Amino acid sequence: MANRKANGTKYKSAIIDTAPEAAGYYCDPVSARDNRLGNMYMSVRGSGSATVTLQFKAIDDTSWTVYDTYTANTRQLIDDYSDTQWRIGVASGDYASGTVKVGIDYGTN
Domain residue spans of the chain: 4-106
Which amino acid makes up residue 16?
Answer: I
Quick check: 35 pLDDT over 60? no
CA atoms within 13 A on the CB side of 83: 4
pTM of the model: 0.92
Tell me: the pLDDT tens digits for 7-32?
998 899 999 999 999 999 999 999 87
Q: What is the DSSP-derived secondary structure letter of residue 59?
A: T
Sign of CA dihedral 26, 27, 29, 33: negative
CATH topology of domain 4-106: Jelly Rolls (2.60.120)
